[in-house]
Structure 1
């Protein structure tokens, strides 16, 4: 039964001790396979340009609000424009083995008063896509949002035609919440937006699944997973660490 007020009307749970959450900071989030660090155009532009240039064509940019970047000058100009932004707050994903920047990710639509934040501007190069580091990068940012910034809600939004993004959202543990028709106009076309989210109550199970999935025991000598991330969420939880 939901909580009721003095008139017998159902109302949401009480948050009498709630306070606004802090803004995302320029910090380094260290993992085993990668690290997230604040975007620095001068430091990261060449690595990112080389990483994006490894793609065979421009299809990775079809559903992005930015790009493609065909020259280092174009990319550098964009990075210089966004590196000091507080919303979206950009982080570079650096591969632990090569020590090269291989992708971008951001926290955006930051609503600190209500504890709501979105992960977006996800631009993973072919050097990062479908790697353990790609999954770990998402986990590092989620953990920062829920455990250090203590936000209540973490959102993921994408073009409704972007099947890869929709599949990734579900794999990572987001729940589909609906379709916002004709939500925005971008790249000269209309976009229906698919909306996903997870909340702080979901986080313990999602966190435990990531830890199990990222364990070296979950991969064979060829680096292939033994159990999927989705499967891990169905397993009994481990004792909190």
Structure 2
């Protein structure tokens, strides 16, 4: 650790730093899924796969929903599109062309190079599917490798255990819980914070690519290596 002329510890220099840009006009193409800016054109497909009978639990930890009609869902999508702190994306299945999920860029701090992946909603056919992990991989690669962000964040309701497990599986590091951080749907949310740095991503990216490779899956689609094991080893 270095010190200044007063003997106080200070951080490393960030040479040549300049503010980053927002991820706009996104089209991130993977093997299983393609991510594009969410529009109202995606509402019918999104409604079909996330608002059917029995889909209510998908929306428990989302800021709104579940929705009973395409009109209600369309109003929610329109609100997200107009939110200056949110850049919502549709996750399109490459085989079907349908919206199998959504995710968003949130709270972009372009001056300091920090951005959050959040508002993640996977349809039942997307859950436990390679495309879910590929979506996070595509967003992380775009934010850090292509746009030059230094910090990628993941936040969730502290009680949302599946999201907390996913954060660790994807290689995010738990940084603490903000108590009484949010009121949504008339209830309190303590928010668990996770993040990965650009340096950590450079170690994690090969782990993602190894897990996503066809060689990692047998003829029945079963994984040979777990992503959680690969990311933990990358960060060890």
Aligned to 2:16: 17
Aligned-partner SS, 1:83: helix
Equivalent residue in structure 1 for 2:147, among 149, 166, 171 = 149
Note if contact 1:93-1:104 (Cα within 8 Å) is conserved in structure 2.
Answer: yes
Q: CA deviation at 1:160?
A: 0.6
- What is the alpha-carbon distance in structure 2 between the residues aligned to residue 235 and residue 199 of structure 1? 16
Aligned to 1:115: 113
Equivalent residue in structure 2 for 1:44, among 38, 42, 50 = 42
Deviations 1:39-87 (Å, cap 9, x if unpaired)? 111x211000001134624112111112111111101111122224442
Whether 1:81 aligns to 2:88 is: no
Structure 2, gaps ≥5 residues long: none
- What is the alpha-carbon distance in structure 2 between the residues aligned to residue 167 and residue 236 of structure 1? 17
Aligned-partner SS, 2:166: helix
Report runs of 4+ in structure 1 exceeding 4 Å deviation: 234-237
TM-score, reference length from structure 2: 0.95
Structure 1 pair 234–186 and aligned structure 2 pair: CA distance change class (3 A): closer
Whether 1:58 aligns to 2:56 is: yes
The alignment covers a number of residue pairs equal to 235
Aligned to 1:5: 4
Structure 1 pair 206–55 and aligned structure 2 pair: CA distance change class (3 A): farther
Equivalent residue in structure 1 for 2:122, among 121, 124, 139 = 124
- What is the alpha-carbon distance in structure 2 between the residues aligned to residue 26 and residue 66 of structure 1? 25
When the two chains are superposed, the root-mean-square deviation of aligned CA atoms in Å is: 1.5
Deviations 1:152-179 (Å, cap 9, x if unpaired)? 0010011110000000000000000001
Aligned-partner SS, 1:146: helix
Aligned-partner SS, 2:6: coil
Note if contact 1:55-1:126 (Cα within 8 Å) is conserved in structure 2.
Answer: no
Aligned to 2:67: 69
Deviations 1:92-126 (Å, cap 9, x if unpaired)? 00001111111110001010000011111111111
- What is the alpha-carbon distance in structure 2 between the residues aligned to residue 140 and residue 197 of structure 1? 16
TM-score, reference length from structure 1: 0.93
Aligned-partner SS, 2:62: coil
Structure 1 pair 236–144 and aligned structure 2 pair: CA distance change class (3 A): closer
Aligned to 1:189: 187
Aligned to 1:134: 132
Aligned to 2:168: 170
